[in-house]
Amino acid sequence: MPGEKRELKEERRFYVYEVDTELGLMVYVYDKEVIEENLIEGLKYNRECSSSDIEALAAAASSLTFYGEKAVELGISLGYIHPEAVTELNGVKVAMFMRLG
C-alpha cells in the first residue's frame, strides 16, 4: 500500500576462501566477524559472498569448512552439515563437509 513502510531484509554476507586443488574445489566460509576480529589466526579469504553465492559454490565443492555461528547455520540449512557434527575452535563454531568419491 502507498505510504506503507516496507523493510528490505539485507542478505548476510560471508568471507570465502576458495582454492582449486588436485583433490577438487575447497571452500572455506567465514562469518565476517571471525576474520575481522581475527578470532582464529591465519585464516584468509579471497572473496565476499552471499548465501546464494555459497550455495552455488557448495554444489561444485569437494570440501566445505564453515567457521562461525552464522556460517555453520548456513551449512546446516543447505544440508551439508549435521547439527551434531559441529565443534569449536577458540570459541568459534566450526564444521566440515567432504564429498567422497
pLDDT per residue as tens digits for the range 60-97: 999 999 999 999 999 999 999 999 999 999 999 999 99
Tell me, yes or no, whether 68 lies in a domain.
yes
Tell me, yes or no, whether 45 lies in a domain.
yes
Where is pLDDT greater, at 57 or 7?
Answer: 57
Tell me, yes or no, whether 36 lies in a domain.
yes
Tell me, yes or no, whether 2 lies in a domain.
no
Tell me, yes or no, whether 34 lies in a domain.
yes
Domain at 32, CATH number: 3.30.1860.10
* Separation of first and last alpha carbons in the chain: 53
Q: ∠34-49-45 over CA atoms, to 5°?
A: 50
Under DSSP, the state recorded for 10 is P
Amino acid letter at 52?
S
User: What are the grid coordinates assigned to 50, written together?
Assistant: 552471499
pLDDT per residue as tens digits for the range 34-70: 999 999 999 999 999 999 999 999 999 999 999 999 9
Tell me, yes or no, whether 62 lies in a domain.
yes
Q: Which domain holds residue 74?
A: 13-98
Give the total number of structural domains in the chain.
Answer: 1
